[in-house]
Amino acid sequence: MADVGITFIIEDRTYHLPAGDMHLSADILPADRQRLIALLEKVKQQDAEAQSAIRNAVRDVGVAPRAAAASVPTGDPLDPGTIKSGRLGHGDIDNLVARLAIEERQTRKPGLTKQGLYKWIAGTTVLVLLLVFIF
């Protein structure tokens, strides 16, 4: 079985923290410990900012608060009720992006149809003929 834990390197010094060790920081130099704490604080801050951005995106989409409070997603992944409050995982973000893409497609103006193409060709032909007769 593989050794479970975290291994990190600070200025060419390698540290390994086993998962079950209660005295994790005993072997870490004080300066390295402070650098590690500062790095982890930055990670924590970025995580909080990402959660805030996701919450704002969910709010902007218009998910009802009761639907956002659902604890376990079930059924259709594109249903607004599948988004849960708190930290959203990778699958939740994918569902949100997919739902936004579907809403975008529904509001998009339809492309050129056969009838529209025929109208465009007829209009261009009439314009060219008029220019030929005038000049």
* Residues 65-75: tens digit of each pLDDT: 444 444 444 55
The H-or-E segment that residue 77 falls in is none
Block residue for tokens 């410990």: 33
Residue 119 lies in a domain: yes
What is the per-residue pLDDT for 89? 64
Calpha distance 2→26 (Å, rounded): 23
Q: Considering only the C-alpha atoms of the chain, give the largest distance between any 2 of them, rounded to a whole number of Å.
A: 94
Query: Taking the complete model, does pTM exceed 0.85, yes or no?
Result: no
Give the structural domain span for 134.
62-135
Do 78 and 120 belong to one domain?
yes
Do 102 and 40 belong to one domain?
no
Do 67 and 132 belong to one domain?
yes
* Across 20-33, average pLDDT: 75
Block residue for tokens 């659902």: 70
Q: In 3D, which of 88, 17, 52 has the Cα closest to residue 8?
A: 17
User: Which residues partner with 83 through β-bridges?
Assistant: none
Residue 14 lies in a domain: yes
